[in-house]
């Protein structure tokens, strides 16, 4: 018998305010959290804007070890996981620890911390033979990408399968997908799953500058992220984390947990085409959507909302529009599809999990979040992108899709109460 996977807790640290409530306020009101970069002096960069989190680790009561020696992205994840576990009502101490896992995604891991210490040991980029004496003695925590999952596992006593997933910008969707498979296959009953990234640093901003992937609209940061709009000119960097508590369905029912929805399908494919380029056809993303629907035994017409990758680059939004049309056929025109990156930016590996959290909240509130800043249609992007204003709608099955560097194309399907056809 197939084990079903329930979502029983949500935690979010996103631009515009920490916590799930602040996150949903932002999305449902269609506000944007993009602004001029304050985390460092961005002088000289082509793109000097980002969606930043106003985040103080001390205010969240993180222990000194986490506040001082760990990178911001680990702190985000610890706080989001704390909210998710509290929300789920799960008594982690009472669980069999071998049956509790962690699956967290991050695209760039501890690079912000690594860059910070690099500057110290290299005397500001002057030495190849860096001087180790200037480095933080715990720099290995930034170097090892598995620190992310390890810190969260430690805090919540998880001793089952603990993994950090790093598939670029699909990391968040894939981390949730791996967790879904872990429970479905019987390797754990509970998995703390999500993703985190804090990439707003000189090196990461500069490397996206170099390929002109980010928006140069420095004079109007609030309106810079314009997915699907004909004026779009790149993504706006973001940061943040979202964590869900995923739980085997009967396990959740046995403890009378509140079940938000189920994860009902997940698939990922590579386009084997280009590390950063996308085809106009969207064949591989369409295949991921089809496979996720197959797993859920759902017809494409059962999809009520598509949470888009919608990064706001020229090629992404066309690629994705083509992929959704390929999978959903005519139903694509009747299905709202929006990009929350218009509001919270693109936090690389974290955003997939933040978008899954947005889908869970959309199901909860029966409201489709909008695409902020959408004004002028692109003739090649001709679907219903839910311009500027959130829209109440009956939602049962919602889909979140993502594309990442490396050519990865992922889809996660969520099903609310009553959504599965028997």
Partner 1 sequence: MSTQRPRRAVVTGIGVIAPNGLRTDAYWKSVREGLGVLGRITREGCEHLPLKVAGQVEGFDASALIDERFLVQTDRFTHYAMAAAALALDDAGLAHEGGVEDPFSVGVVTAAGSGGGEFGQRELQKLWGQGSKFVGPYQSIAWFYAASTGQISIRHGFKGPCGVVASDEAGGLDALAHAARAVRRGTGAMVAGAAEAPLAPYSMVCQLGYPELSTVDDPDRAYRPFTAKACGFVPAEGGAMLLVEDEARALDRGATVRATVAGHGATFTGASRWKESREGLAQAVRVALDEAGCAPEEIDVVFPDALGVPEADRAEALALADVLGAHATRVPVTAPKTGYGRAYCGASVLDTAAAVLAMEHGLVPPTPHVYDIDCDLDVVMSRARPAELRTALVLSRGLMGSNAALVVRRGGGLAR
Which residues are catalytic, by number? 169, 309, 346
How far apart are the C-alpha atoms of 194 and 325, rounded to whole Å?
28
Q: Which of residues 26-45 bind partner 1 (CB under 8 A)?
A: 44-45
Q: How far is Cα of residue 150 from the mean position of the Cα atoms in its chain?
A: 19
Q: Does 379 bind partner 1 (CB under 8 A)?
A: no
Query: Of the two residues 192 and 362, which places its CB atom closer to partner 1 in the complex?
Result: 192
> Are the C-beta atoms of residues 198 and 107 closer than 8 Å to each other?
no
Q: Which of residues 110-129 bind partner 1 (CB under 8 A)?
A: 111, 114-115, 118-119, 121-122, 124-126, 128-129
How far apart are the C-alpha atoms of 320 and 385, rounded to whole Å?
12
How many residues at the interface with partner 1, by CB under 8 A? 81
Instruction: Choose the stretch contacting partner 1; rule: CB under 8 A; options: 31-39, 180-188, 218-226, 298-306.
Output: 180-188
Angstrom distances, CA of residue 216 to CA of 4, 148, 287, 322, 404 = 44, 31, 33, 26, 21
Query: Of the two residues 22 and 135, which places its CB atom closer to partner 1 in the complex?
Result: 135
DSSP assigned state of 306: E
Among positions 8, 75, 166, 307, the unique one binding partner 1 when judged by CB under 8 A:
166
Q: Burial code of 129-160, b = ≥16 C-beta within 10 A, e = fewer?
A: eeeeeebeeebebbeebebbbbbbbebbebeb
How far apart are the C-alpha atoms of 329 and 404, rounded to whole Å?
24
Minimum distance, C-beta of residue 244 to partner 1, in the bound complex (Å): 19
Minimum distance, C-beta of residue 197 to partner 1, in the bound complex (Å): 11
Alpha-carbon dihedral of residues 361, 365, 92, 179, nearest 10 degrees? -40
Helix axes 351-365, 171-184, angle to 10 degrees: 70
Pairing of strands 49-51, 190-197: unpaired
Q: In the block, which residue shows the tokens 């004026």?
A: 231
Among positions 58, 91, 132, 379, the unique one binding partner 1 when judged by CB under 8 A:
132
Instruction: Choose the stretch contacting partner 1; rule: CB under 8 A; options: 21-29, 136-144, 216-224, 351-359.
Output: 136-144
Q: Does 215 bind partner 1 (CB under 8 A)?
A: no
For 127-141, the DSSP string reads -SS--GGGS-TTTHH
Q: Which of residues 262-301 bind partner 1 (CB under 8 A)?
A: 267-276, 284, 287
> Are the C-beta atoms of residues 5 and 246 closer than 8 Å to each other?
yes
Q: Does 158 bind partner 1 (CB under 8 A)?
A: yes
Q: Does 205 bind partner 1 (CB under 8 A)?
A: yes
Minimum distance, C-beta of residue 65 to partner 1, in the bound complex (Å): 11
Angstrom distances, CA of residue 257 to CA of 107, 254, 260, 395 = 32, 8, 9, 21
Q: Which of residues 302-361 bind partner 1 (CB under 8 A)?
A: none
Instruction: Choose the stretch contacting partner 1; rule: CB under 8 A; options: 15-23, 106-114, 231-239, 300-308.
Output: 106-114
| Alpha carbon distance, N-terminus to C-terminus of the chain | 15
Q: Does 140 bind partner 1 (CB under 8 A)?
A: yes
Minimum distance, C-beta of residue 206 to partner 1, in the bound complex (Å): 4
Minimum distance, C-beta of residue 242 to partner 1, in the bound complex (Å): 18
Nearest of 103, 47, 28 to residue 338 by alpha carbon: 28
Q: Does 139 bind partner 1 (CB under 8 A)?
A: yes
Query: Of the two residues 114 and 259, which places its CB atom closer to partner 1 in the complex?
Result: 114
Query: Of the two residues 67 and 146, which places its CB atom closer to partner 1 in the complex?
Result: 146
Query: Of the two residues 241 and 368, which places its CB atom closer to partner 1 in the complex?
Result: 241
Q: Does 165 bind partner 1 (CB under 8 A)?
A: yes
Query: Of the two residues 147 and 338, which places its CB atom closer to partner 1 in the complex?
Result: 147
Among positions 31, 38, 98, 417, the unique one binding partner 1 when judged by CB under 8 A:
98
Q: Does 174 bind partner 1 (CB under 8 A)?
A: yes
How far apart are the C-alpha atoms of 155 and 157, rounded to whole Å?
6
Q: Does 209 bind partner 1 (CB under 8 A)?
A: yes
Query: Of the two residues 197 and 355, which places its CB atom closer to partner 1 in the complex?
Result: 197
Minimum distance, C-beta of residue 50 to partner 1, in the bound complex (Å): 15
Query: Of the two residues 125 and 418, which places its CB atom closer to partner 1 in the complex?
Result: 125
Minimum distance, C-beta of residue 386 to partner 1, in the bound complex (Å): 30
Q: What helix, strand, coil percent values describe the chain, rounded to 5?
A: 40, 20, 40
Nearest of 198, 10, 171 to residue 114 by alpha carbon: 198
Alpha-helical runs (H) found in 122-226: 140-143, 147-156, 171-184, 202-210
Minimum distance, C-beta of residue 389 to partner 1, in the bound complex (Å): 34
How many residues are present in the chain?
A: 422
Among positions 17, 216, 377, 406, the unique one binding partner 1 when judged by CB under 8 A:
406
């Amino acid at each position: 018998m197939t084990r079903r996977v329930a979502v029983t807790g949500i935690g979010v640290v996103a631009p515009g305010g920490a916590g799930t409530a602040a996150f949903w306020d932002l999305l449902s009101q269609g506000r944007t959290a993009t602004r001029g970069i304050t985390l460092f002096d961005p002088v000289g960069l082509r793109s000097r804007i980002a969606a930043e989190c106003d985040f103080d680790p001390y205010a969240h009561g993180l222990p000194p070890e986490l506040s001082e020696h760990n990178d911001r992205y680990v702190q985000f994840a610890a706080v989001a996981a704390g909210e998710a576990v509290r929300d789920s009502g799960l008594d982690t101490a009472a669980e069999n620890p071998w049956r509790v896992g962690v699956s967290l995604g991050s695209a760039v891991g501890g690079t912000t911390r690594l860059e910070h210490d690099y500057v110290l040991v290299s005397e500001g980029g002057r030495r190849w033979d860096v001087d180790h004496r200037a480095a933080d003695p715990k720099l290995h925590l930034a170097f090892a990408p598995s620190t992310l999952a390890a810190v969260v596992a430690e805090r919540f006593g998880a001793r089952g399968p603990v993994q950090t997933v790093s598939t670029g910008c699909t990391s968040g969707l894939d981390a949730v997908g791996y967790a879904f498979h872990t429970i479905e296959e019987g390797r754990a009953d509970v998995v703390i799953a999500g993703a985190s990234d804090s990439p707003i640093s000189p090196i990461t901003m500069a490397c996206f500058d170099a390929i002109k992937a980010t928006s140069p609209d420095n004079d109007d940061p609030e309106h810079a992220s314009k997915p699907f709009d004909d004026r779009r000119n790149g993504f706006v960097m973001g940061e943040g984390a979202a964590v869900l508590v995923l739980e085997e369905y009967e396990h959740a029912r046995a403890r009378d947990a509140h079940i938000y929805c189920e994860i009902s399908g997940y698939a990922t494919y590579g386009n084997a085409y280009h590390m950063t380029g996308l085809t106009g056809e969207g064949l591989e993303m369409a295949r991921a959507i089809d496979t996720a629907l197959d797993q859920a035994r759902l017809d494409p017409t059962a999809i009520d909302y598509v949470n888009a990758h919608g990064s706001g680059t020229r090629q992404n939004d066309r690629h994705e529009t083509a992929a959704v049309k390929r999978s959903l056929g005519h139903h694509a025109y009747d299905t709202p599809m929006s990009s929350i990156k218009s509001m919270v930016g693109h936090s690389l590996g974290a955003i997939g999990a933040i978008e899954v959290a947005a889908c869970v909240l959309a199901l909860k509130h029966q409201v489709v979040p909008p695409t902020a800043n959408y004004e002028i249609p692109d003739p090649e992007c001709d679907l219903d992108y839910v311009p500027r204003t959130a829209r109440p709608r009956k939602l049962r099955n919602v889909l979140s899709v993502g594309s990442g560097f490396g050519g990865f194309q992922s889809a996660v399907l969520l099903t609310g109460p009553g959504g599965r056809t028997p």
